[in-house]
Amino acid sequence: MSSTMSSIQFLENASVGKNKWWRYVLTVIVSFVGGSLVAGLALALFLIVYSVFLASGGVADISNIIMEIISSPFTLVALVGVSYTISFFFFYICLRFIHHKPLLKVINTVSSMRWKLLLKGLILWFLILGIFSLPDLIFNPGSYQITFNPSTFTLLLVLCLLTFPIQASFEEVLFRGYLMQGFSLFSKRLSGIFKLNWLSKPWVPLLVTSILFGCVHFWNGTSLYMDLSIVCSTFIIGLMLGIVTLGENGIETAMGIHIANNLYVSLLYNSTDSGLPGLPSVVTAEASDPFAGLPVLALAALLVIIILFWNRKDDLIRIFH
């Protein structure tokens, strides 16, 4: 292994277990597709049983009940929670029996989970989002509505606390852990074949996984323009989370940031054109140009990196040297 690659211990974990390319393809397919299919079938079965049990007016009444449940934003949050829980379970099974790799190897380089780092990332990103949101809330209050509803917020809070820690953690394990390590292994092999030293650099798997992370969120918006803006914003966030992961030799801080981000936009600061519209969040913003917020997001991401690595510049140099 090259000295550049070996300088980041987290990427060395890729060599543990069995790592043929088809194992990665199979694991991703089983985890994502399998989780979605099982969750979809479970939802369909629930809707049929629930609607038949409640319906009293025949097929039309059953159809109305089903549509009412499907159109509820709570149903979507619950479905995300179920889907990602199943995907996480399938991923663990694949990692254990296809790769023969412990889950902790795609999380960090030590012998246990570093919960303090997760909490640090969660608090830091919550504070930064809050600080960056305040100016517009103060100087442009007409663009916001107070949508807090005490009677439904408790349900939203419970659903979000159950769903988003699992969903965000799985995405970090998959993208910043499993896939970034896998691409580091693959790019190193290509570097040896084609005699291209730059392919063995840590920034290569960082960039590839950040692009993939952005692309898989393409369908989160409500229009093509919105979809493209989400790809850009998730690419920026993915790049930040990848840098934090490589700099800290583990994904715990990235997990905390990701969890905080999803809880913030669902519980406190939603928008009418978000991927989860209609949630009784504390504040809901009117639809605006989605690309307008990208510079602010990039600045927030840069601020996170500056704060976390203020006295640890060598950890960043290892990534891009």
Same domain, yes or no: 316 and 284: yes
How far the first Cα of the chain sits from its last, in Å, is 16
Number of domains the chain contains: 2
Same domain, yes or no: 153 and 253: yes
Contact assessment for residue 255 and residue 121, using Cβ atoms and an 8 Å cutoff: yes
Same domain, yes or no: 128 and 97: no
Domain end: 40, 74, 101, which one?
101
Same domain, yes or no: 42 and 191: no
d(CA 49, CA 9): 51
Residue 3 located in a structural domain? no
pLDDT for residue 5: 41
Nearest to 8 by CA among 246, 291, 287, 288: 246
Same domain, yes or no: 152 and 290: yes
d(CA 208, CA 99): 21
Residue 300 located in a structural domain? yes
Same domain, yes or no: 133 and 186: yes
Same domain, yes or no: 54 and 25: yes
Predicted TM-score (pTM) of the model is 0.92
d(CA 7, CA 203): 12
Contact assessment for residue 10 and residue 183, using Cβ atoms and an 8 Å cutoff: no
Same domain, yes or no: 267 and 294: yes
pLDDT for residue 32: 87
Residue 302 located in a structural domain? yes
Residue 6 located in a structural domain? no
Is residue 247 classed exposed, middle or buried when 0-12, 13-18 and 19+ CB atoms within 10 A define those classes? buried
Residue 31 located in a structural domain? yes
Bridging pattern class, strands 144-146 and 269-271: unpaired
DSSP letter string over 76-100?
A: HHHHHHHHHHHHHHHHHHHHHHTS-
3-state DSSP assignment of residue 7: coil
Provide the domain limits for residue 52.
17-101
Domain end: 79, 101, 123, which one?
101
Question: For residues 199, 203, 209 and 214, what is the CA-based torsion angle, rounded to 10 degrees?
Answer: -130
pLDDT for residue 250: 97
Q: What are phi and psi of 282, to 5 degrees?
A: -60, -45
Residue 295 located in a structural domain? yes
Bridging pattern class, strands 283-285 and 269-271: parallel
pLDDT for residue 88: 97
Residue 75 located in a structural domain? yes
CA 83 vs CA 167, 177, 262: distances in Å: 9, 20, 16
Identify the H or E element spanning 283.
Answer: strand 283-285
d(CA 242, CA 253): 10
d(CA 1, CA 19): 15
Identify the H or E element spanning 186.
Answer: helix 180-194
Same domain, yes or no: 146 and 283: yes
Block mean pLDDT (10 aa), the chain, length 321: 60 95 96 89 81 61 69 88 95 97 96 96 97 90 90 94 97 97 95 91 96 91 84 96 97 98 94 81 87 93 97 91 79
Helix axes 224-248, 252-263, angle to 10 degrees: 150
Same domain, yes or no: 160 and 287: yes
195 dihedral zone (left: phi>0; alpha: psi -120 to 50; beta): left
Helix axes 73-97, 21-29, angle to 10 degrees: 150
Residue 106 located in a structural domain? no
Same domain, yes or no: 81 and 120: no
